Structure 1
Amino acid sequence: MTTPEMLDERYGRTRPAMPRWVVVAVIVVAAVGFGAVGWSIFAANIDAVDADTTGFEVVDEHSVAVSFQFSGPVGRSIACALEAQDREHGVVGWKVVEYPASDLPARAFREVLATTGDATTGLVNSCWVT
């Protein structure tokens, strides 16, 4: 026991207890904060779409074929932005493709993009729920 505690005990001094309403208020604020964080995490991930480029083929100097797959929410239509790039990573082709809703969580596709120059690669830029 430390000296201040010994003096408090000797002379009967006690620390005032925290009012009950303060404890309840702190618990309520903490619960609302945790609920808000949980909801924001859930809402951000409910419509998440994960897309991967599985391959590409330069068809000729004016087109490239991109093979890709995505997984997303069932029963929702999905759009994907595809792009073709040249040697300096400049965009020489761009296409947004929309896919109707499906009851399959993962699907694979192959799309051909028209290009304005020689493409050296084709890829999926992003996919989202429409």
Structure 2
Amino acid sequence: MSTPESMTSPTLVTRYGAPKRRLDRRGRRLLVVVALVLAVAATALVALVVNRPTISSKDVGFDVRDPSSIVVDVDVVVPEGQRGRCGVQALDERFTVVGYTEIDVTGTDDGGSAHRVPMRTTSLAVNGGVNRCWPLP
């Protein structure tokens, strides 16, 4: 690609910089192919993450035994053949975590399992339930 003589004069090059080179046809094709490969890889990654079975939980209830203990009842649904772990917490009246423990859960053929989780607290709890669940390898 040639440029007119006036565009490459030393004064213009000093003031504005040298003219930019454009990509040739081969460079543009390569850029499009790389963009398509990245788009396909990103789509596959999103499809794997979205279609992965998840662990779900439901808070059933809690029983405050005394200022230093609580029992939390939860139902956890884990896909069959998968293992997971759930964090169960107890909260005080200011929503501060005053007790926390983790339970291991496994998938069953009917899907769900009930868990009664006793836990020690640092002060009087007024609520208890599952914080979150995650799959284990």
TM range (shorter): 0.5 to 0.7
User: Which of 21, 41, 47 is matched with 2:47 structurally?
Assistant: 41
User: Which of 119, 122, 130 is matched with 2:128 structurally?
Assistant: 122
Matched with 2:70 is: 64
> Which whole-Å CA distance do the structure 1 matches of 2:66 and 2:86 have between them?
23
Displacement of 1:103: 3.7
Q: Which sits farther off after the overlay, 30-39 or 61-70?
A: 30-39
Matched with 2:115 is: 109
Matched with 1:81 is: 87
Displacement of 1:30: 6.5
Contact 2:77 2:107 in 1 (8 A): no
Aligned-residue RMSD, C-alpha:
2.9
Matched with 1:91 is: 97
3-state DSSP of counterpart to 2:43: helix
Contact 1:66 1:112 in 2 (8 A): yes
Distance 1:112 1:48, change over 3 A: same
> Which whole-Å CA distance do the structure 1 matches of 2:73 and 2:36 have between them?
47
Residue by residue, what CA displacement relative to the aligned partner does 1:12-36 show, whole Å, maximum 9, x if unpaired? xxxxxxxxxxxxxx8xx77974674
Displacement of 1:115: 0.4
Amino acid of the residue matched to residue 122 of structure 1? Answer: G
Matched with 1:22 is: none
Seq. identity, %: 27
How many residues are treated as equivalent by the alignment?
113
Residue by residue, what CA displacement relative to the aligned partner does 1:76-118 show, whole Å, maximum 9, x if unpaired? 2211101001111111101011134544422111111110110
Contact 1:64 1:119 in 2 (8 A): yes
> Which whole-Å CA distance do the structure 2 matches of 1:45 and 1:53 have between them?
25
Q: Which runs of 5+ in 1 are unaligned?
A: 1-25
